Structure 1
Amino acid sequence: MDITSEIPRYAALPRIPGLDLAYSWDFFGRGDELGTLNYLTPELIRSAAALVVDGTVISLNLPIDQPSPGLFGRERYVHEQFWVDRNTWDEKLDGYFPQSSTQWDGFKHFRAREHGFFGGRTGDPATEIHDIGIDVWARRGIVGRAVLLDVERYLQGRGSSVPVDERFIISAETLKLVAAAQGVTIERGDILVIRTGWPAKYSERPSGSGSLSMLPGLDADDETAQVLWDWHISALVTDLPAVEAVPGDPAVGSLHRRLLALLGLPLGELFDLEEVAVRCQDTGRYVFFFTSAPMHLPGGAGSPGNALAML
């Protein structure tokens, strides 16, 4: 698509009949497979590369056995290593969930009820939908300027903190306040990175702690979708386990449905943002060059994050 065209304001987007939720399918084109990743033009990527000042590279990926215990019924994989012959050592993973640790939620991950997946695609995602797999993202990568909003540091400065096991809601207004406090401006095509410190807190829970029924996250309301769309970000990366607060509120709706299925905004979960957040705080620079190479899994619904920050 010609992404140089003017992006409509959220309020001007059409609404899904019966759900009254805004969607971008006609703006990007019904056959589009990239959604807001279209904003990542070669010009923007070249500009973002200039953010590399001293060559520091920071991994944004948790070990693939984290978080532990696993979440949402995803059991830990079995890692088997073995001799192939007298000189060759090999290995395999059995029962591995690509979305169990640092991950991207792809467009086949979530649908808008009977209205379908991104672009209005309906049918069985395994046998009837033959596009919008994670392999589409893998072929081009996700590369650009990232802007970190350190929500946890902002809240700590005001006597609060993001809990590990409560339905703590982070509003769109809070995101705007954090951006203002850090002095950052969100620009078209930015990869928005939101830190809450959740993975580190989860790893510090006492051994034998039970499973969690409540999780912190972004507000799933229309205002959150409006702010994120009107910021013109290309992707949303968080260290949260579900991006949005759990359990969801049926009266408010699902943020995955609003962002992933209807607006075409890729979602990242459980990214490791601790080291890069410290670096940003120390330098006072909350922008960096971001790269991710999603797993080239044909037809996949998601992928490990496989992401780096370069400063």
Structure 2
Amino acid sequence: MAPPLNPLPSFDELPLREGDPPNSAWGLWGDGSDSALGSLNYLTDELVLKTIKEEVKTGERIGLNLPLDLFNPPLLGRAGFEQKIIDKNPLVVNDDVITFNTQGSSQWDSLRHFAYQQDKKFYNGTTQADIHASGRTEINGLQSWCSKGLAGRGVLIDYVSYAQRHGIEVNHFAGHAISVEDVFAIAEEQGVDFCTGDVLFLRTGYVAAYKALDAEGRERVSNVREWCGLGQSRETTEWLWKRQFAAVVSDSPGFEVRPPTDKKWHLHPILLAGWGTPLGELFDLDKLAEICAKNNRWSFFFTSAPLNYAGAVASPPNATAVL
């Protein structure tokens, strides 16, 4: 894996190259083949080994993947999950075939998902013409992630429990912003330290709130394009840059709050297209929060094996936390 520029450029030095989009860090990881991994370059063999030794204490394992068919009707107008079970008569054997939108449930966004809208460029300057040059190009896809998978130290920031302790009312299906000051306060209460190359997990409570809805409520929410999430600001973005997370994850549909608190600091283009930092969304973090609270320990070993095929825009994470 490629080393980053050392020392890390300051936030005020972004973009790193003249003419690149605002706040982008193209070139941080050099120009070799590993540059396509973006911030996943932090997940070195040495870091993984260190994490296993330091973070695996009890052997408890928690799957972080929601059912592919949980969101019904599907959110954001996406295609729903379908399954066909095939009776292989005269053999007493069954196959099944499934179809689903790769962003219909727990998901990783690849670096070809969201571009700088004004510049019309994805990570490292990739364009729509590059991606659509043929039926199944691989540029900025997930296959570079799949050769080793994702593995490292995860840190959970449990906002919903913090809000309950402090009497903060949260509407999970409206633009409720979680400020970076909230993150600092939660980290202090939980006794969490962040390290370069961590995977940040932010539990907003969206999934638990969705599961509590009846059929009518789920129908209504399927058409709501607002949710709780990390609030956008310069301070938030600068903190994320300084921390250099390998990836960021939440249990909401978009990681950051929608509608945004400040459109100038919309995180999707900055993280995905600017820094090459994977975004995880709609992860199942409720059981993880329960076990972390029981153990009074909010960091863990994390592993993920995305689907391996050319040109993936997104993938279920196939993720597990090991404590």
Give the TM-score category using the shorter length: over 0.9
The CA distance in 2 between the partners of 1:4 and 1:310, in whole Å, is 31
The CA distance in 2 between the partners of 1:176 and 1:20, in whole Å, is 29
Counterpart residue number, 2:225: 213
TM-aligned CA distance change 1:73 to 1:170, over 3 Å: same
The CA distance in 2 between the partners of 1:219 and 1:17, in whole Å, is 28
TM-aligned CA distance change 1:162 to 1:17, over 3 Å: farther
Please give the TM-score of this superposition, normalised by the length of structure 2: 0.90
In terms of mean alpha carbon deviation, does 54-63 or 171-180 score higher? 171-180
The CA distance in 1 between the partners of 2:103 and 2:86, in whole Å, is 26
The equivalent position to 2:52 in structure 1, one of 49, 53, 57, is 49
- In the TM superposition, what whole-angstrom CA distance separates every residue of 1:40-88 from its partner, at most 9, and x where no partner exists? 1111100111211121111001011122321111132221101124222
Counterpart residue number, 2:25: 24
- In the TM superposition, what whole-angstrom CA distance separates every residue of 1:155-201 from its partner, at most 9, and x where no partner exists? 11110143221110111221122112211110011111111111110
The equivalent position to 2:132 in structure 1, one of 118, 126, 132, is 126
1:74 correspondence with 2:86: no
Counterpart residue number, 2:41: 38
**Shift in Å at residue 15 of structure 1?**
6.3
TM-aligned CA distance change 1:99 to 1:295, over 3 Å: same
1:30 touches 1:119 (CA, 8 Å); kept in 2?
A: no
Q: Which runs of 5+ in 1 are unaligned?
A: none
The equivalent position to 1:204 in structure 2, one of 194, 212, 220, is 212
The CA distance in 2 between the partners of 1:201 and 1:244, in whole Å, is 17
- In the TM superposition, what whole-angstrom CA distance separates every residue of 1:207-263 from its partner, at most 9, and x where no partner exists? 213121321111222222211121121110111111112234674342101111111
1:136 correspondence with 2:139: no
The CA distance in 2 between the partners of 1:142 and 1:62, in whole Å, is 18
Structure 1 residue matching 2:128: 3-state secondary structure: coil
Structure 2 residue matching 1:200: 3-state secondary structure: helix
Counterpart residue number, 1:280: 292
- In the TM superposition, what whole-angstrom CA distance separates every residue of 1:123-158 from its partner, at most 9, and x where no partner exists? 332326642211111122110011111111111111
**Letter aligned with residue 76 of structure 1:** G
Counterpart residue number, 1:189: 197
In terms of mean alpha carbon deviation, does 39-48 or 77-86 score higher? 77-86
The CA distance in 1 between the partners of 2:279 and 2:313, in whole Å, is 12
2:16 touches 2:27 (CA, 8 Å); kept in 1?
A: no
The CA distance in 2 between the partners of 1:21 and 1:221, in whole Å, is 14
**Letter aligned with residue 88 of structure 1:** V
TM-aligned CA distance change 1:291 to 1:77, over 3 Å: same
Superposition RMSD on alpha carbons, in Å?
2.0
Counterpart residue number, 1:165: 173
Counterpart residue number, 2:320: 308
**Letter aligned with residue 127 of structure 2:** T
1:60 correspondence with 2:64: yes
TM-aligned CA distance change 1:98 to 1:255, over 3 Å: same
Identity, in percent, stands at 35
The CA distance in 2 between the partners of 1:98 and 1:45, in whole Å, is 27
TM-aligned CA distance change 1:250 to 1:20, over 3 Å: farther
Number of residues of Structure 1 aligned to a counterpart in Structure 2: 310
1:36 touches 1:264 (CA, 8 Å); kept in 2?
A: yes
**More helix per residue:** 2
